[in-house]
């Protein structure tokens, strides 16, 4: 018996379209993270990017449970003294709804060069349309 090791030439990527309308943020993002990491494939390898492309539509219609709309905070810092900026979920949804999903998925993948390569396969759109119709099989 020999152990099979995936080679870059053997990796086959698919395109998945996920409609975020009415879905809970955390549960949606775990599905997305699984797809872009490739953990749903039998050829999953930790040190290679074997995941698929994911297109998320209707990102502005994702929901959260409880009172997270007012309590969940997003922080960023300008690296200057006193440069901490904060924004709650409701404000972020009005200004940058796609960043909410991006931020959640980014926390679920590796924080290194491999994770950065995986994030490039995530395409998020606020509305119901996307420009990737040619890549999707079966249409």
User: Residue 34: what pLDDT?
Assistant: 98
**Pairwise CA distance, residues 130 & 107, whole Å:** 24
**Which residues share a beta bridge with 76?**
85
Q: Which run of H or E residues covers position 64?
A: none
pLDDT of residue 139: 56
Any domain includes 85:
no
Mean pLDDT of each 10-residue bin along the chain, 139 residues long:
89 96 97 97 94 97 96 97 97 96 97 97 96 81
- Whether residue 107 is contained in a domain is answered as yes
pTM for the model stands at 0.92
Number of domains in the chain: 1
Whose CA is closest to 68, among 85, 92, 34?
92
| Nearest one of 53, 41, 55 to 13, comparing CA atoms | 53
Cα 101–94–25 angle (5° rounding)?
25
Strand 122-124 with 84-88, pairing: unpaired
CA distance 139 to 133: 8
Residue 108 lies in a domain: yes
Decide if 31 is inside a domain.
yes
Q: For residue 98, give its domain range.
A: 13-64+91-128
19 inside domain: yes
Using only C-alpha atoms, what is the Rg of the chain?
17
Q: How far apart are CA 10 and CA 45, in angstroms?
A: 12
Report yes or no: 25 and 104 within 8 Å, Cβ to Cβ.
yes
CATH code at position 33: 3.90.1180.10
């Amino acid at each position: 018996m020999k152990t099979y090791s995936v080679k870059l030439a053997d990796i086959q990527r698919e395109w998945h379209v996920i409609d975020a309308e009415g879905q809970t943020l955390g549960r949606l993002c775990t599905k997305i993270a699984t797809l872009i990491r490739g953990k749903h494939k039998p050829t999953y390898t930790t040190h290679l990017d074997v995941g698929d492309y994911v297109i998320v539509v209707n990102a502005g219609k994702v929901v959260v449970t409880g009172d997270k709309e007012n309590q969940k905070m997003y922080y960023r810092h300008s690296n200057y003294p006193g440069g901490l900026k904060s924004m709650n979920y409701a404000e972020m949804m009005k200004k940058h709804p796609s960043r909410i999903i991006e931020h959640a998925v980014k926390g679920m993948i590796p924080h290194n060069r491999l994770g950065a390569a995986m994030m490039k396969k995530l395409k998020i759109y606020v509305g119901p349309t996307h420009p990737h119709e040619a890549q999707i099989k079966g249409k």
